[in-house]
Amino acid sequence: MSLLDTLKKESEEALGEKPEVATQGTDQELDSGKTEVANAEDVPVPQSFDEDSIPSVVDEIFNTALEKHASDIHFKPKENKFEVFFRIDGTMVEYKLYDKIYHHPIIARIKIISGLKIDEHRLPQDGKSSFQGPGDKEVDLRVSILPTQYGEKVVIRLLEKNPKMVELRDLGMLPNILLKVEKHLKSTYGMILAVGPTGSGKSTSLFSMVSTFDAEDYNISTLEDPIEYKIPDVTQTQINPDIGFDFPDGLRTIVRQDPDIIMVGEIRDQKTASLAIESALTGHLVFSTLHTNSASGTIQRLLNMDIDRFLITAAVKIIISQRLVRKVCSSCREKYPVPAKFHQMLKEEIDITPENAFFYKANGCEKCNNTGYSGRIGIFEVLEMSPAIEELIINSASNTDIEAQAVREGMILLRKDALYKAVTGDITIEEALRVLNS
Ligand SMILES: [Zn+2]
């Protein structure tokens, strides 16, 4: 019995029915989701199915994903078909719709290359592999398999082996925000925090900041989970909670290694927070991230982690709150006058004459996979510790009061930064609102 026959038989047994072939129905799920369809091609029903073609089918999927800079590939079985999606710049884009007959052979191929059990269909599995694309581009593959009602679903995260670090000045900070951040990078001690929800680009910001230091002149140590970018001459350590090596353990060891600069991937608990603050107050420049929604809300989070008010005011230098949004494709964007319903908002928030301003529409062209978007840019809100803010924190002022004071001292709120970027043509107004309202 050939591999294909075995797989078909297994699939029939697993599903308790014969896999249906050649059904092309409407796709409710796709229509209702936040999915953009671009370049989707329906694959004709195969007259004869050649199992030898499967490795090249899978290679083609990986190659295309690399070419389109996808961060993840989703292999999603449905009742009568099998769909492959890419996540590009945070958005799901349909790549191809396959006949259901491809489901098992493609999943089996993925299992083979990532060292997973081919005959296991009922339990989730996690695996790793790597893939060499054209032009020496190499990615690590993190494979996750989940059994579903229509068979196994696979999601593969693509991690570039040597991703290009984004320069600090290319993150998208307004010139005066950038100056503020650069000023604090000259400090010899204290804490610099990047905060925001998952996927807001916090790690990218930390790396951009840390890589402005000459690693030959400073002892730079990082604790990460996982190591995302490899920086030459920087001591990078992967924490591993499974074997009892967590952020606090790592931090305790790093401070004994005479560091100048410490980067802690994320402050998740009281112990890490307290050790990181202590390190920041004992002559080290500490970079870290926190999962909070605003710059001012970060103070409250640290207080909730039992960090003393005085220590917070003494240690924290700046808090960079951020979001990541899709940049509108500069090749096909189209400007249009700001609609009347936004006039008031623009006048009040960014003090411009809305009648003379423009927004930009995402159209879609070949360069942007017909999505209208290309690459991403950060939206930032940077709170700088000042004597007045220190006083408010010590006097248990509310987040609102702290934020209001920061704004008086020149802090640009996330919302404003997003509106600036909408009128300058970096992003669409829809993208600005989507991120700010979520
Ligand atoms: Zn375009």
pLDDT (tens digit per residue) in 296-320: 999 999 999 999 999 999 999 999 9
Ligand 1: centre distance to CA 373 (Å):
6
Ligand 1: centre distance to CA 99 (Å):
30
Ligand 1: centre distance to CA 369 (Å):
7
Ligand 1: centre distance to CA 328 (Å):
8
CA-to-CA distance for 250 and 263, rounded, in angstroms? Answer: 11
218, two tokens: 């400073």
Q: What is the number of other CB atoms lying within 10 angstroms of the CB of residue 279?
A: 23
Q: Does residue 2 carry a pLDDT above 70?
A: no
| Closest of 358, 369, 294 to residue 331, by C-alpha | 369
Q: Where are the domains of the chain?
A: 3-160, 168-437
Ligand 1: centre distance to CA 285 (Å):
41
Chain centroid to Cα 268, Å, comes to 18
Q: Does residue 6 carry a pLDDT above 70?
A: no
Ligand 1: centre distance to CA 28 (Å):
27
**Phi and psi angles of residue 89, each rounded to the nearest 5 degrees, phi first:** 50, 40
pLDDT at 161: 77
Q: What share of the chain is helix, strand, coil (3-state, %, to 5)?
A: 40, 30, 35
pLDDT (tens digit per residue) in 190-243: 999 999 998 899 999 999 999 999 989 999 999 998 887 888 889 999 999 889
Q: Does residue 20 carry a pLDDT above 50?
A: no
CATH class given for the domain over 168-437: alpha beta
Locate the DSSP E strands across 241-364: 261-264, 285-290, 316-328, 334-337, 358-361
Q: Does residue 342 carry a pLDDT above 90?
A: yes
Calculate ∠ Cα 42-45-50, nearest 5°: 115
pLDDT at 46: 52
| Closest of 144, 188, 176, 201 to residue 323, by C-alpha | 201
pLDDT (tens digit per residue) in 31-87: 333 344 444 444 444 546 688 899 999 999 999 999 888 999 999 999 999 999 999
Strand order in the sheet with 36-42: 36-42, 91-99, 81-88, 70-77, 151-160, 138-148, 125-132
Chain centroid to Cα 406, Å, comes to 27
Q: What is the number of other CB atoms lying within 10 angstroms of the CB of residue 25?
A: 9
423 contacts 339 by C-beta, under 8 angstroms: no
Q: Which CATH number fits domain 3-160: 3.30.450.70, 3.30.450.90, 2.160.10.10, 3.40.50.800?
A: 3.30.450.90
**Helical axes 270-281 vs 247-254, angle rounded to 10°:** 20
Ligand 1: centre distance to CA 368 (Å):
4
Ligand 1: centre distance to CA 296 (Å):
37
Q: Does residue 11 carry a pLDDT above 50?
A: no
Residues with CB under 5 A from ligand 1 (ion): 329, 331-332, 365, 367-368
Ligand 1: centre distance to CA 196 (Å):
28
> CA neighbours within 13 Å on the CB side: how many for 8?
14
pLDDT at 391: 98
Amino acid at the residue 59? D
What are the b/e assignments for 257-266, b being 16+ CB within 10 Å? eebebbbbbb
Amino acid at the residue 74? H
Contact partners, residue 323, CB within 8 Å, separation at least 6: 196, 197, 200, 201, 378, 379, 414, 418, 435, 436
Amino acid at the residue 125? Q
Amino acid at the residue 31? D
Domains 3-160 and 168-437 share a fold: no
Q: Name the CA dihedral angle for 226, 227, 229, 233, rounded to a multiple of 10 degrees.
A: 170
pLDDT at 408: 97
pLDDT (tens digit per residue) in 96-151: 999 999 999 999 999 999 999 999 999 999 999 999 887 778 899 999 999 999 99
Q: What distance, in Å, lies between the first and last C-alpha atoms of the chain?
A: 52
Q: Does residue 179 carry a pLDDT above 60?
A: yes
130 contacts 138 by C-beta, under 8 angstroms: yes
Q: 162-176, 272-286, 333-347, 353-367: which range is least confident on average?
A: 162-176
Ligand 1: centre distance to CA 359 (Å):
16
Strand partners, 221: 235, 262
Residue 352: helix, strand or coil by DSSP?
Answer: coil
pLDDT at 308: 97
The radius of gyration computed from the CA coordinates of the chain, to the nearest angstrom, equals 25
**Phi and psi angles of residue 263, each rounded to the nearest 5 degrees, phi first:** -120, 120
Ligand 1: centre distance to CA 332 (Å):
4
